[in-house]
Amino acid sequence: GDSMAIRDFSRAIMLDPLCTKAYVNLGQCLQLKGLYKSAWYQFARALAINPDCIETREARAILNLQLHEFDSALQDMNAALQGRKTAGLLTTRAVIHMYRQDSRSAVLDLEAALTVDPLYFLALFNAGCIAARQRLFDKALEYFDLASRLSPEEYTSLNNKAVLLAISKDLEQAHQEAEFAHVLCPTAAFVQVNRGHIFLKMGKFEEAACAYTQAIDNDPHCSPALKARAFCYESLGWTEKALADFRSIEDLDSVA
């Protein structure tokens, strides 16, 4: 487990205090346990030994992103990309730009990533996300379609395709993509919510309520699912069930 890995990497550092990989691996283990400050310290120690280590720069950039230190994350990725330009590094910097609300720079990095590797899944996926935000739905669908064909087991691209197809009013195809995503990851609440929304657009209130129920089973605090299910129950004339959901929504709102 993580605790044993932390112990082993700590021992490796004691045996070789200049082993940067041990510091990086230790930092990543700490990061997974949510010990972000301790992880950051390990990455800093590794960079003190080798400031040009690309893997360490990227690792600390991702950690800074989790800490919402976007400018620091960008600085680390800029330093990493001076060493080499890979599709992965360019995509990571694009994601940082997205968090900084700099869509133009993100698009440029994703285009560069796809020039290096036209079939890089994460670049395609994030390019689709940006295109969707810009309401370039046909372009976004192209990105998500290629991404889903490259990684058929990746349910997020299928889910996003379903949402865009529903927006485009191609409900039958949207339903099909949503069902594929559901099969791949039946425990993702947001997948079930989107399935429910598509059923709702198709006028299938009972099926929609069932999908929302699955979302709530996976995440009891999923307010969008509760609100949508209450609407379904109300539309079906199931007043008591609708009232119970409205009370649950009020309870969640009071906690928030």
What is the number of other CB atoms lying within 10 angstroms of the CB of residue 173? 13
Comparison of pLDDT for 101 and 2, the residue scoring more: 101
pLDDT digits (tens, 9 = 90+) for 203-246: 999 999 999 999 999 999 999 999 999 999 999 999 999 999 99
Percent of the chain with pLDDT over 70: 99
**What is the reported pLDDT for 165?**
96
Evaluate whether 128 touches 140 at the Cβ level (below 8 Å): yes
Residue 255's pLDDT band (cuts 50, 70, 90): low
Which one, of 4, 66, 95, 92, lies nearest residue 43 by Cα?
66
For residue 143, the number of C-alpha atoms closer than 13 Å in the C-beta half-sphere is 25
Q: What is the pTM of this model?
A: 0.86
Evaluate whether 248 touches 226 at the Cβ level (below 8 Å): yes
The mean per-residue pLDDT over the stretch 185-195 comes to 95
Evaluate whether 189 touches 208 at the Cβ level (below 8 Å): no
Percent of the chain with pLDDT over 90: 95
Mean per-residue pLDDT of the chain: 95
Residue 41's pLDDT band (cuts 50, 70, 90): very high
